[in-house]
Structures are given as structure tokens and as C-alpha cells.
Structure 1
Amino acid sequence: MSDFKIQSVLITGSSRGIGLEFVQQFLKSPNPPQKIFAACRNPDGPQSQALKDLAEKHQSVIVVQIDVTHPSSVNASVKEVEKHLNGQPLDLLFNNAGVFAHNSLESETSEDMLNVYNINVVGPMLVTQAYHRLMKRAEGTGKSAIVHISALLGSLEDVPHLFSHFPVIAYRCSKAALNMLSRCHSVGYKQDGIISIAIHPGWVKTDMGGDQAPLTKEDSVGAMMKIIYSLSVEQSGTFVDWEGKVIPW
């Protein structure tokens, strides 16, 4: 692995699926982060039990409440994280929280479209805005990174290949918009030493992906961990899959 030193990481949507798997794999990594901020909307809910169990066993796992669509919740989470960082920067931010809606061109509604956009696009925008100041680096003091969990279904070029199987209009449009946000972050935050990359995790067996998905979350996240630990400035602004292959916009 490269010289990308990850001492602190924040992962949204960490109570289950890919987010929870990232928490687990960071704990098992050769040089685990000192602080793993596992952020989720309802830390006290039953679906967060596995995450709470990890936090009880590992002092480095700090569960943080965050609703990515509410600025007040996002800002409160920043204050909590800042207390634990003790003046150190946040090295890595995962915009992982997301939703999926099974709507076609005919069945899509404004309510569903706005809800998906609010979580999949507005949420990452608000979270990154709020944590930007904790990620900024002085010249020569290393780098930070934003990882946006995107999807192949957000690729404009790939629409003809998969549209008949997965029309999912709101989800597709939201991931295309997230890719644009990631590109904007890569340009706008370059001077602050911040890398931004969009990663397609593959079709993964999770509550969202379903049982038919060919990839396990362990394999998907394991492959993405290799990308993350080897991140370079040259990769900022790119869109890749879990194996590091470039995906056309």
C-alpha cells in the first residue's frame, strides 16, 4: 500500500451494508486508523446493533449521529468529531449513505425523485461542505480524500446497456449528479490538498443490492480498500469501479 496515511476516517451510512463493512475492514487493516467515525442516522435503532457492538469492542470506533439531509445534524456531527480529533485533520471522508427507488420513466414521481436527490446528492454536498475545514491541509503536510460511493448506473455512456434491466430513473440521475459533485470537489478543493474520487462498488449483496447480486460486500470493500490506500493526486476527479477500472462518464 502507498504512503496515504489514514489516521482518521468518517463513513456515512455505516450501520449496515457497505458502510459497516468498511468499518470492519479498517479495523482489520495492517495500520488501522486511530479514529473511525461511524456515522449513521439512528445509532440507537435495532439496525445499528452490529455497529454498536463493534464500538464496544474497539475504542477506535466512535459512533456519530448524522442525518445527511439536515444541516443542523451535519453541523452537530462536525462538532462531535472535532472534539475527538484534538486538532488533527480528518484524513478520509466516505459519502456512502444512499437510497434506491424502483421507479421507471412511467412511474417516477416528483416526491420520490426529490427524496432520492436529497439523500444521494444534497447529503454528500452538505457533509463535504461541513467537513471541508477539517480536511484542509497546509502545503506539504500530506493529503486528504473524499470518496463518493457512486454507481455504474450513473454513467451517461452506459445507459443503453443496462437501461432495460434497471430503469430506476431517480437513482440513475442522482448518481450522475453525484459524479459531477465529485468532479467539482476535485477541482475546487485541489489547492487544499484534497483528493476526490467516485467509486462504483459493483452490484453487491446488501439490503439495497439484493440476494441476486454477484459480489459479496467483503470482496467489494476489500478491493476498494486497495484503491483507497493507494490514492494519488493523479486519480482525483476520476470515476472507477471497485477494481480500479475507469468508468466512462
Structure 2
Amino acid sequence: MTWCDLWKDKLSRDCSYQGLYSCTVVLITGANRGIGLELVRQITETQKPLSKVFACCRDPDGPKAQALKALAEKHPDVIMVIRMDVADPKSIQQAALQVGSSTTEQMTSTFNTNVIGPMVVIQEFLPHLRAAAKVHGKPGMSCRKAAVINVSTLGSSIELAKEQYVQFKLLPYRTSKAALNMLSVCASVDLQKDEVLCVLLHPGWVRTDMGGPNAELDVQESVQGMLKVMESMSEKHTGALLDYCGHTIPW
């Protein structure tokens, strides 16, 4: 079995929990009561990862939508209540425009968090990184000297995307992490002259709010693995994408 076969086997195990909700974006009509409301509640509270639930009903401000509004207030980052009357074509068109606008905003927001944010952090802390590397005095690179460690994901791999995407869509997350990979590789080249290490780490499938309760690792196991890998890093690892066990992930 080749390393690629091993990765494909790992992907099938890591992504098997996704099931019906692998799309991560759900639109529900009649969401203000009965089965529709309960679908919103259960999908929001039990399905991970989940980026957005569009909960549609005829009158979001009416008395029959109070339970839905309360649920949306409890999960403001996930549930978006949208006015839509399924008997009115114009209302449906307006709802579709609102959903499209929201998904564009989500892509922008995710890139701001996963790409722009790390870029600015590196830029602003670069003088401190250079100073730390200089004070250390010894040649070479290591986390004990000066390092930038960006958290990426197996889902950022373009080479593995065809096998992964059906089970783990999360388009804004995947594309932003792929961009983070490029940012980090470019930074590793720029920081090489200062002997500042720059590496990407995939923490594994972890039982967090995003990873869900069925993930294979708890947070402690993931962090222990990453710290062990970080301890062993040297200049030969700069610009690499590794998992929490130290295995190289293909771009």
C-alpha cells in the first residue's frame, strides 16, 4: 500500500461521520413550528461541522415565530432566519438573493480570519521573531529559537480534494486554509534568511465544536501530538504541511 493509499484510507475513516449533513449548509422551509422548527433545532445542535442553517418562514416577526427567533438568538453564528412565503414566487426570489449574499459574506469573513489575520500577525510580530532568533545565537531553525506555526487542515490539500470534497464540503473553510498554506510557504521563504521556522500543522480530527462528538481525538491527544512534532522540527521542515503525528500531507 502506497502513502497515497494510506491517506485515502484515513480520509474515508475521518470523513465517514459526515453522512447526510456533509453539505454543512441547510435551508429549511416552514421552520417556525412543528417539524420544521425541530429540524432546525436538532441539525443545529447535533450536526458538526455545520456552517449555516437558513430557517425560512412566512412571518419571522409574527407570534408563531417566537420559538424560532429564540433558537436563532441562541445560535447566532449558525441560524439565519429568512422571510419566505413558498406560495409567493417573488418572496422566494428575494430569499434566494439573501442566501446568496450571506454565503458571499461568509467566504469573505472566513478568509479574513484564516488568511488575512495570520498574515497581519506575522507582519506585526516579525521584529520580535527576528530578535528572538538573533538572541538564540546558534545556527539553524527550531521552535525553541523562533517559529511561526499555523494551524491548517487535511481539508486544505488540493491533491486529496477529489476524495474529500463529497464528504467534507465546507467550501469557505477549505479554500481559506489552502490560501493559508500558500501564505505560510511564501512566509517560510521570506523568513529563511532570519532563521525563523514557518510550518503548517494539521491537528487531526478533534472532538471540538467544529469536529463534533464522533471525532477520533480529544483535544489533549491532539495538542500532545502537535507539541511532540514541534519539538522535533528543524530547518528541513520549514514550509511543510504536517499532521499531529509528523506525517507530511500532500499539497
TM-score band w.r.t. shorter chain: 0.5 to 0.7
Which string of whole-angstrom CA distances, capped at 9 and with x for unpartnered residues, describes residues 128-155 of structure 1?
A: 1100100102387143111000001000
Which string of whole-angstrom CA distances, capped at 9 and with x for unpartnered residues, describes residues 196-220 of structure 1?
A: 0001101100112111111111111
Offset of residue 195 of structure 1: 0.5
Report the TM-score, using the length of structure 2 for normalisation.
0.56
CA distance, structure 2, for counterparts of residue 219 and residue 139 of structure 1: 33
CA distance, structure 2, for counterparts of residue 220 and residue 131 of structure 1: 26
**2:134 is the alignment partner of 1:138:** yes
Task: Give the match for residue 196 of structure 2.
Answer: 194
Task: Give the match for residue 224 of structure 1.
Answer: 226
Task: Give the match for residue 181 of structure 1.
Answer: 183
Q: Which has more radius of gyration?
A: 2
CA distance, structure 1, for counterparts of residue 224 and residue 151 of structure 2: 14
Give, as a single letter, the amino acid of the residue that structure 2 aligns with 1:235: H
The alignment partner of 2:134 has SS state of coil
5+ residue gaps, structure 1: 1-99
For 1:34-183, list aligned pairs within 5 A: 102=51, 109-136=103-130, 137-138=133-134, 141-142=137-138, 143-183=145-185
5+ residue gaps, structure 2: 1-48, 53-98, 139-144
**2:207 is the alignment partner of 1:205:** yes
Give, as a single letter, the amino acid of the residue that structure 2 aligns with 1:138: K
Contact 1:121 1:175 survives alignment (8 Å): yes
Give, as a single letter, the amino acid of the residue that structure 2 aligns with 1:102: S
Give, as a single letter, the amino acid of the residue that structure 1 aligns with 2:51: H
Identity value in percent:
39
Give, as a single letter, the amino acid of the residue that structure 1 aligns with 2:231: Y
Contact 2:50 2:210 survives alignment (8 Å): no
The alignment partner of 1:138 has SS state of helix
Contact 1:101 1:170 survives alignment (8 Å): no
**Aligned-residue CA RMSD in angstroms?**
1.9
Which string of whole-angstrom CA distances, capped at 9 and with x for unpartnered residues, describes residues 159-181 of structure 1?
A: 11111111111000000000011
Offset of residue 231 of structure 1: 1.3
Offset of residue 101 of structure 1: 6.2
Please say which of residues 153-162 and 140-149 is displaced more in the overlay. Answer: 140-149
Give, as a single letter, the amino acid of the residue that structure 2 aligns with 1:231: M
Report the TM-score, using the length of structure 1 for normalisation.
0.56
Offset of residue 102 of structure 1: 3.0
Contact 1:198 1:237 survives alignment (8 Å): yes
Which is richer in helix? 2
Task: Give the match for residue 215 of structure 1.
Answer: 217
Contact 1:139 1:193 survives alignment (8 Å): no
CA distance, structure 1, for counterparts of residue 241 and residue 177 of structure 2: 11
The alignment partner of 2:215 has SS state of coil
The alignment partner of 1:189 has SS state of helix
Contact 2:187 2:198 survives alignment (8 Å): yes
Number of residue equivalences = 148
